[in-house]
Structure 1
Amino acid sequence: MKGALSLPFLRLYGLTLLYFSANAILNVFIPLKGESLGAANTTIGIIMGAYLFTTMLFRPWAGLLIQKYGPIPVLRAILVMNGLALSTYTFTGLEGYFVARMMQGVCTAFFSMALQLGLIDALPDKERSQGISMYSLCAAIPGIIGPLLALGMWQTGETYVFTAAMITIALLTCGVGFSAKMDRNASKPTGGSIKQGAAMLQSFGQLVKNPYLFKCSMLMLIASLVFGSVTTFIPLYAAQIQNGNAAIYLMLQAGIVVAARFVLRKKIPSDGKWHSAFVTTIMLLLAIAAQSVSFSITGGVVFFYAGAVLMGVAQALLYPTLTTYLTFVLPQESRNVLVGLFIAMADLGVSLGGVIMGPVADLYSYSFMYTLCAILSALMLFFAYERRQ
Structure 2
Amino acid sequence: MNGAMSWPFLRLYMLVLLYFSANAILNVIIPLQGESLGASNTAIGLIMGAYLFTTMFFRPWAGHMIEKHGPLKVLRLILIVNGFALILYTFTGLGGYFVARMLQGVSTAFFSMALQIGIIDALPEKDRSQGISLYSLFAYLPGIIGPVLALGIWQGGMNYFTVVMIAIAVFTGVAGYTAKMDKKEVQPDAEKPGQGAEMFKAFNELVKNPFLFKCSVLMLVASIVFGAVTTFIPLYAMQLEGGNAGVYLMLQAGTVVLARFTLRKKIPSDGRWHSAFIMGTMLLLAAAAQCVSFSLIGGAVFFYIGAVLMGTAQALLYPTLTTYLSFVLPQANRNVLLGLFIATADLGVSMGGVMMGPVADISSYSFMYMLCAVLAAVMILFAYDWRKQFVGEYREGKDLR
TM-score by length of 1: 0.99
Partner of 1:207: 206
Return the alpha-carbon distance in structure 1 between the equivalents of residues 115 and 285 of structure 2. Answer: 27
Return the alpha-carbon distance in structure 1 between the equivalents of residues 368 and 211 of structure 2. Answer: 30
Partner of 1:229: 228
- Residue 132 (1) aligns with residue 132 (2): yes
- Residue 284 (1) aligns with residue 278 (2): no
Amino acid at match of 1:197: G
User: How far off is 1:192 after superposition?
Assistant: 2.4
Return the alpha-carbon distance in structure 2 between the equivalents of residues 316 and 372 of structure 1. Answer: 22
Return the alpha-carbon distance in structure 1 between the equivalents of residues 181 and 224 of structure 2. Answer: 33
Partner of 1:267: 266
Consecutive unaligned residues of structure 2, counting only runs of 5 or more, are 389-401
Return the alpha-carbon distance in structure 2 between the equivalents of residues 358 and 112 of structure 1. Answer: 27
Number of equivalent positions = 388
Return the alpha-carbon distance in structure 1 between the equivalents of residues 69 and 28 of structure 2. Answer: 36
Amino acid at match of 2:286: A
Return the alpha-carbon distance in structure 2 between the equivalents of residues 358 and 154 of structure 1. Answer: 22
Amino acid at match of 1:320: P
Partner of 2:20: 20
User: How far off is 1:188 after superposition?
Assistant: 1.2
Return the alpha-carbon distance in structure 2 between the equivalents of residues 191 and 61 of structure 1. Answer: 16
Partner of 2:75: 75
Amino acid at match of 1:368: F
Amino acid at match of 2:260: R
Partner of 2:399: none
TM-score by length of 2: 0.96
Partner of 2:317: 318
User: How far off is 1:195 after superposition?
Assistant: 1.0
State how 1:363-374 maps to structure 2 within 5 Å.
363-374=362-373
Q: Would you identify which runs of 4 or more consecutive aligned residues in structure 1 move more than 2 Å? A: 191-194
Return the alpha-carbon distance in structure 2 between the equivalents of residues 7 and 303 of structure 1. Answer: 40
Return the alpha-carbon distance in structure 1 between the equivalents of residues 346 and 146 of structure 2. Answer: 20
2:273 is paired with a residue whose SS is: coil
Moved more, 185-194 or 109-118: 185-194
- Residue 120 (1) aligns with residue 97 (2): no
1:4 is paired with a residue whose SS is: helix
Say if 1:2 and 1:123, in contact at 8 Å, map to a contact too.
Answer: no
- Superposed CA deviations along residues 194-230 of structure 1, whole A, max 9, x for unmatched, are 6111101111010010000000000000000000000
User: How far off is 1:84 after superposition?
Assistant: 0.4
Partner of 1:93: 93
User: How far off is 1:385 after superposition?
Assistant: 0.7
- Superposed CA deviations along residues 66-103 of structure 1, whole A, max 9, x for unmatched, are 01111111000001110000000000000000000000
User: How far off is 1:191 after superposition?
Assistant: 2.4
Return the alpha-carbon distance in structure 2 between the equivalents of residues 193 and 21 of structure 1. Answer: 37
Q: Percent identity at matched positions?
A: 71
Partner of 2:156: 156
Say if 1:225 and 1:351, in contact at 8 Å, map to a contact too.
Answer: yes
Say if 1:217 and 1:342, in contact at 8 Å, map to a contact too.
Answer: yes
Say if 2:273 and 2:386, in contact at 8 Å, map to a contact too.
Answer: no
Consecutive unaligned residues of structure 1, counting only runs of 5 or more, are none
